[in-house]
A and B are shown apart, each in its own frame.
Chain A
Amino acid sequence: MHRPCSIPSLTAIAAAVALVVSPLAHAASPAPTQKLEAKLDQMAQQLLEMRGELAQLKQENVQLKAQQQQQAQTSQQTAADQATLKSQVDATSQSVQTALAKPSPLDNLNIWGYGEMYYSRPTRQSENTRADLARGVFGIGYQFDDKTRFNSEFEIEHGVTSSSDPGEFEVEQFYVDHKFNDSLSGKAGLFLIPAGLINENHEPTNFYGVTRNFVETLIIPSTWREGGLSLSGDTKFGLGWSAGVTTGLDLSKWNFTPTSPLYTSALELQNNSVAPMQATHQEMALANAQKLSGFVSLNYRGVPGLTVGGSVFNGGTVKATPDMGSSQRVTLYEAHARYQPGPWDLSALYAHGSFSHTAEANASAAATAAANGQSLTNPMPASFYGWYLQAAYNAHVGGYRLAPFARYEKYNMAASYEGVGSGFSMPNGFAVPHDTVYTVGANFYLNQNVVFKVDYQRFKINRDFSRIDLGLGVTF
């Protein structure tokens, strides 16, 4: 390395200067000589000082060099550390990606389920108290690709299913869904009819009260599905629509001549398939599909928290008796609104259904009954309807959600009869097919998958149906 200056060479220069200057000093007079000596001393002193400063500079220089080296080493180390870290991160992300990319048929498989248990105690007829594992449902889905998906749900009702037990094993849904684009998709198979607020979202965490409301059980059948094809889509301003062609009802399943009451409690009213459409829908169990039905449903959700919609279902049916000449149709329409501002959840629904040519059906059934020594105890209604208003408040209490609610509902499973004498009335002991029900209760959400429920329902006419219910619902 080049030295900018060195102490020995400076000393040499200083000595040389002294040698050149000294003869001159001797030649001069004593007074100037003294002056010169003083000057020389001064210069020597200055030289010494310079030497000292130079030594200090040299030392600083060495220190600086050492520092520079150290810094270079540190930055090299940091770079090396970063490189190692980066390669480690790369390796990890690569192994994660490899693990993710590893093809497994299970990757496309989804399994889900839901279920509910009831404890239902009529306040005036406690002998009808029942505890029921109402339903256990398990779903299996398979994603074929980004656009095509298979969904199925299998349901076991009432705990045990056998020929001597009350349970049923049912296929609740079984369909293929294909997205044509972002706003249009199609379905083929057995799927839920988009009617009302509950039918398509019937998991126990999605409704208030232990059991589903009566309107969406007796007027709109509960978990109502048909086989067929449908198209559905949504628009940028929040209007969703769905339309399809499906199987329909078999009115020959209607029991015109029961000799004992078809139901004696609210739970039986819901479970025994006594309502007009509940008793006659076919659920694709070797469904008579000679006549087809169709539906259209619209829902506007363009304002956050608001759903306003309605649907119409209309179709030909298997006629009630083989003897009648006319063919029969069913029409069900409903309108609904749900508004959830903040913690509030307010909903209202109206549903109305009708069967055509029931005068002929009832006359034909009455004739057959008379020939067999029976009487028409349960004529087929020409129309039926129901509506409800419901309010719930979702309170968050220490990480849990508590939702007290109240509901006012009216159902009429036989709003009008045709072809029966005006003097017709239900036989003694048979419940009146219409009522007003007040319900108050609460859903307590342990988390968003588990709900405990309690409610009290008061029936205005069939007062023996009034009851206290407890429930547990699970969905995942």
Chain B
Amino acid sequence: MSTQMTDAALVGAARSGSDTAFAKIVDRHQQAVRSFLRRVCGHEADADDLAQETFLAAWTALRTLDEPDRIRSWLFGIAWRQAKGMARSMSRTRRRETDWQAERPEHDQPGTELNIAMQQALAQLPADQRAAIALCLAGDWSHGDAAKILEMPLGTVKSHVLRGRARLVEILGVRDDEH
């Protein structure tokens, strides 16, 4: 029986040049990182490309990671910066984010009705709100962790989650018993 290596052990091995260890890091965190980026970007192919860039940047900067056991939040921080960079490059071409999303096919692969409804609802929120929602509601991160990942004040994150949630409930037409 093989024992499950901790994140810190995998980071240590990857820093020593083990590709196998880094591949395990990718396997372990790809789902969370890609889901986050898909919710932030709203486009699967772009999100997956950004996720690959995120892991590549992580591999390059692995030696700068201070707390190897907190690699997931570090990866999310990189992913968020990559997503913001992409949004900036889109704005440099003088195209608004909504235009950019409208020009793309809604989905590369067929999705469920719930999936499509959520993608469309998220697309109506500002990027910062989408990121806060993706972390705190979809990803189960605490507001404090989300504030660190997104490099935003705690109050801003709480406000984004509250407003974004209310907007999603309204768009999706779900019954909200929490408020």
A-B interaction: no
Interface residues of A (CB under 8 A from B): none
Interface residues of B (CB under 8 A from A): none
